[in-house]
Amino acid sequence: MRICMVSDFFYPSIGGVEEHVYNLSQMLLALGHKVVVLTHAYGDCTGIRHMTHGLKVYYLPIKVCYNQCILPTAVCNVPMLRAVLLREQVDVVHGHSAFSALAHEALMVGALLGLKTVFTDHSLFGFADLSAALTNKLLEITLSMVNHAICVSHIGKENTVLRARVAKHRVSVIPNAVDTALFTPDPAQRPVNGVINIVVASRLVYRKGIDLLAGVIPRFKNTPNVKFIIVGDGPKRDLLEEIREKTNMQDRVEILGAVEHAQVRDVLVRGHIFVNTSLTEAYCMAIVEAASCGLQVVSTSVGGIPEVLPNSLILLAEPDIEAIYSAILVAIDRHRKIAAATSSTANGNIPQETARARRKRLKKSVKSVPAISGPTAATSSQTEPVLCPHRCNELVETLYNWEDVAQRTVKVYDRVLQERAFTLSELIYAVYQCGAWFLAFLVVGHFTLLLLERWRPRSRIEVAFESRRRPS
Amino acid sequence: MAKTTYGKRKPWVKNLYSNREYPDNYTDVSFLKDLRTNLHVRLYTFGEAVAGITVLNNQISCITGFLILYHMMLVESVAPTSILVPSCIITGIGYLFYRGSSLSMLLLGEDSKTLVTVLLFGYIFSPMLHTLTQAISTDTIYMTTFFMMLFNLMFSDYGLDVAMVSKAISLNAAIFGAICLASRLSTSYHAFVLLVEAAIFFVLYPIMIAATWHPLCMVPMFIICCTALYNISRPVLYLYACSMLFINFVCPFIFVRQQRHKFNIHGPWDEAIVEENTDKNLDENL
């Protein structure tokens, strides 16, 4: 089938949504589907570009308004979107992220053209403030025109069902994944002199809980063999630098600034423990990447994070300084324990041969039910020594991979393709139910499409060339 | 998924890696069990609302009082000195009351320095301020004053911690309004007295109010304003009294009635609230 991914967020911009769209598209291409990505122009990056494996990306010439989003005009880009959707003979329009105005617009155009629409929500919203109330209303209207919604975690589903008032059976939960082949552990990079490296990798903003981190770091003032490596940039960087100065930890807190996504792995493998202090998070890719690199993850227990990793990989803490501090202490304790247990290797890791042998064994059992220590192991694992990094990588591989995500997404596409497309009266009724004012935009959009049908009829639109597509 | 295996499959767990046997759009019975509604909602009683709204009425009455003084000076019904002297005496008493037992010679010296500076510069500049806006037509002056006083009302600090509140804007608006009005008075001495009154009404009085305010203080203020307006203009009196009563009783009534629509949802998706590190509290936290 032909799928069109629409989001304001795509490469060259970096982030969770971008990664999701890219990896999912690649997997769908591998499965033999045709995928085009629609996004707005990023500076010089404009026009049509082809990426790895023939992924076609339309960088539409639309001005960016705020925070990488286009101005939410709802109807201004109808001709362009229609042209692309018809030219590419799209079957399913798949929008990403509630913040993306382009996705909302394309979903409306898709619904008016009688195409099937799917929407993936990547973030959580509150209900208390004005901006949340406005975004929720917009999402409610968009989702009333969408055949199926996808959320990245169960909390995300609860949140979406509540704020957009969609029927529960129309929302699927399909998590993100991580390419475990890219995020492989390399214990040789860890320091050999008994120092424990704690890695933090996130944008340095309030929502990522950098204020909590700034409270945790000074607690390690008198623990000489603990080092912090902080990756990322943002407005809170000054705060961390100030904390570093004031506590005289210049030699033990390394602030690397922004690092390209491909290089994050090289930093991650240097650490023993990964700390995530987010205040809200729908899925949190960073902790999965870290776990895949074999780090012991310590994270705040907010949003969807408790659902993401099994207890053998993660230590959860309430979002306050004291709790995070004691969770890090537990993690350090675990590392020290394994260091004491295996004196043969400097880093306290099980020798490579054993790990490789185990990997072979595991490969066989992967296809069956993955053996995961359930929540019952939670209490006992507190004192357990930390897992071998390679074992972590294998475990994450069994939990998440893009192929699985793509297959589950294709199931959703198949479902919506079997559904009947919305008729215009159904769309009008659905929009009327949740916000009659939006009908004005819907009507304008509809008549623009009628006009365009006259002016540039569907039959006269040149169909895009498709090179050697495997039959799906 | 086959419906026949429904009873046999493993129980659903709220995580993202098990549950392979369940369809992706499966909804468990535990769905939304962490939903909490109206956690921090506080319902106000009618009495609380009436008592609370008096701070707004107080500010309106304060502006009204200032305008009454202006009118008295404009029509020359009272000499400026006979306004200045009593208000200075009241201010002095208020000052002693405000400082109370913490009053010391040092503090008195500091405060009188400020007072002398303000009065001296006010007196020196009053001829200039008096003629500053004289060329502008009276209608424009009154309209500007109206808007300035409205800004003063809007941005005043009523004890709420919201972005709208700005003491600087509200004070500046009021002083600007006073300077506009000063040009309509006959002499620069009049203008000086009006500016002193403006300082008393819009700078000192709110400080006093913030420290000691009781809802019942509204009653004498209301009566004084009404009496003064009775002698000036009947329609303005009715307007003032009606809006006062409307704000003080009808608005709280509507507010209390509408409270039953309060509906707030909380759940695990809410952003955790942490104390933000600022320059002020950074050192304490270390």
A394 with A430, same domain: the answer is no
Q: How far is A342 from chain B (nearest CA, A)?
A: 31
Instruction: Name the residue among B25, B265, B269 with its Cβ closest to that of A303.
Output: B269
What percent of chain B is predicted at pLDDT more than 90?
58
Identify the pLDDT of residue B7: 57
Which pLDDT band holds residue A383 (cuts at 50, 70, 90)?
low
CA–CA separation, B45 vs B54, rounded Å?
Answer: 15
B186-227: pLDDT as tens digits:
999 999 999 999 999 999 999 888 888 888 889 999 999 999
Contact B267 A370 (CB under 8 A): no
- Rounded Cα–Cα distance for residues A275 and A196 (Å): 13
The residue among A92, A412, A166 whose CA lies nearest residue B23 is A412
Percentage of residues in chain A with pLDDT exceeding 70? 89
- CB B269 to CB A372 under 8 A? no
Which H/E stretch holds residue B61?
Answer: helix B46-74
pLDDT tier at A337 (50, 70, 90 boundaries)? Answer: confident
B-chain CB neighbours of A126 within 8 Å are: 269-271
Q: What are phi and psi of A65, to 5 degrees?
A: -100, -55
Residue A469: the pLDDT is 55
Please identify, among A400, A417, A440, the residue that sits at the C-terminal boundary of a domain: A400
Instruction: Give pLDDT, residue B8.
Output: 67
> What distance in Å separates the CA atoms of residue B153 and residue B164, rounded to the nearest whole number?
11
Binned at pLDDT 50, 70 and 90, residue B22 comes out as: confident
pLDDT at A440: 93
Residue A466 lies inside a defined structural domain of this protein? no
Q: Please give the full DSSP string across A159-221, using - where no structure is assigned.
A: HHHHHH---GGGEEE------TTTS---GGGS-SSSPEEEEEES--SGGGTHHHHHHHGGGGT
Do A365 and A426 belong together in one domain? Answer: no
- Average pLDDT across chain A, whole number: 86
B53: number of CA atoms within 13 Å, CB side?
Answer: 20
Considering A398-407, B155-164, B277-286, the range whose residues carry the highest mean pLDDT is A398-407
User: Can you tell me the distance from the alpha carbon of A320 to that of A326, in angstroms, rounded to the nearest whole number?
Assistant: 10
All residues at 6 or more sequence positions from A183 whose CB lies less than 8 Å from its CB, including other chains: A265, A268, A289, A292, A293, A393
Q: Does residue A435 form part of some domain?
A: yes
Q: Which residue has the higher pLDDT, A286 or B10?
A: A286
pLDDT band at A4 (very low <50, low <70, confident <90, very high): very high
A22 and A138 fall within a common domain? yes
Pairing outcome for strands B36-37 and B265-266: antiparallel
> Which element (helix H / strand E) includes B36?
strand B36-37
Q: Determine the structural domain holding residue A336 and report its residue range.
A: 187-400
Q: How many domains does chain A have?
A: 2
Alpha helices in A349-423 (DSSP H): 352-366, 378-381, 389-399, 402-418
Q: A358, A382, A400: which is the final residue of a domain?
A: A400
Q: Which chain B positions have a beta carbon within 8 Å of A206's beta carbon?
A: 276
pLDDT at B65 over 90: yes
- Given this model, what pLDDT does residue A385 score? 64
Q: Judge: A411–B283 Cβ closer than 8 Å, yes or no.
A: no
pLDDT band for position B286 (50/70/90)? low
What does the pLDDT average to over A396-404?
91
The domain boundary residue, chosen from A383, A400, A417: A400
Residue A175 forms contact with B (CB below 8 Å):
yes
pLDDT at A127: 81
Examine residue A21 and state whether it is found in any structural domain, yes or no.
yes
**Domain contains A285:** yes
| pLDDT tier for residue B240 given thresholds of 50, 70 and 90 | very high
Q: Report d(CA B181, CA B197) in Å as an integer.
A: 12
Whether A96 and A195 map to the same domain: the answer is no
Partner-chain contact B15 A310, CB within 8 Å: yes
CB A92 within 8 A of CB A118: yes
Residues B276, A211: C-beta atoms closer than 8 Å: yes
Which chain A residues are closer than 8 Å to B266 by Cβ?
A: 127
| A162·B276 Cβ contact <8 A | no
pLDDT of residue A363: 43
Q: Which residues of chain A neighbour B270 with C-beta distances below 8 Å?
A: 126, 280
- Lookup: tokens for A402: 């893009």
Residue A353 reports pLDDT greater than 50: no
Paired tokens of B214:
């009781």
Closest alpha carbon within chain B to A371: B18
Q: Which residues in chain B are closer than 8 Å to A401, comparing Cβ atoms?
A: none
Same domain, A12 and A147: yes
- From A374's Cα to the closest Cα of chain B, the distance in A is 9
- Pair (A261, A151) in one structural domain: no
Question: Model ipTM?
Answer: 0.72
- For residue A372, give the nearest of B17, B269, B282 by CB distance: B17
Q: Which residues pair with A151 in a beta bridge?
A: A121, A173
Residues of B in contact with A125 (CB under 8 A): 269
A351 lies in the same domain as A380: yes
Take residue A431 and report the two structure tokens written for it: 């929009």
Q: Per the CB < 8 Å rule, is A173 touching B283?
A: no
A380 and A411 in a single domain? The answer is no
Q: Return all residues near A285 (Cβ < 8 A) that are at least 6 apart.
A: A16, A19, A176, A178
A348 pLDDT more than 50: no
Residue A310 lies in a domain: yes
Chain B residues with CB-CB distance to A169 below 8 A: 25, 27
Would A26 be classed as within a structural domain? yes
Using a pLDDT cut of 90, give the percent of chain A over it. Answer: 56
Nearest CA distance, A173 vs chain B (angstrom): 5
Nearest CB partner across the interface for B24, out of A174, A207, A215 = A174
User: CA of B179, closest CA in chain A: separation in Å?
Assistant: 38
Greatest mean pLDDT among A249-258, A363-372, B235-244 lies in: B235-244
Q: Are residues A117 and A243 in the same domain?
A: no
Residue A472 counted as domain residue: no
- Domain assignment of residue A411, yes or no: yes
A234 plus A341 within the same structural domain: yes
How many Å lie between the alpha carbon of A156 and the closest alpha carbon of chain B?
A: 8
Interface test with A, best of B9, B31, B269, B274 (most A CBs within 10 A): B269
Q: What is the pLDDT of residues A98-146, one digit of tens each?
A: 889 999 999 999 999 999 999 999 988 888 778 888 888 989 999 999 9
Residues of chain B whose beta carbon is less than 8 angstroms from a beta carbon of chain A are 13-18, 20, 23-25, 27, 31-32, 34-35, 264-277, 282-283, 285-286
Q: Do A211 and B25 touch (CB under 8 A)?
A: no
Window from A95-104, A191-200, A282-291, B258-267 with minimum mean pLDDT: B258-267
**Closest-CA distance of chain A to residue B25, Å:** 4
Render pLDDT for A52-71 as a digit per residue (tens, 0 to 9).
Answer: 888 999 999 998 888 788 88
CATH code for the domain of A416? 3.40.50.2000
SS3 B80: helix
Strand A69-70, strand A92-96: pairing: unpaired
Q: At what angle do helices B80-99 and B188-199 cross, to 10 degrees?
A: 20
Task: Give tens-digit pLDDT for A186-202.
Answer: 988 888 888 899 999 99
CB contact under 8 A, A169 and B16: no
* Residue B249 confidence (pLDDT): 94
CA dist list (Å): B203 to A346, B95, B98, B152, B194: 71, 13, 14, 12, 13
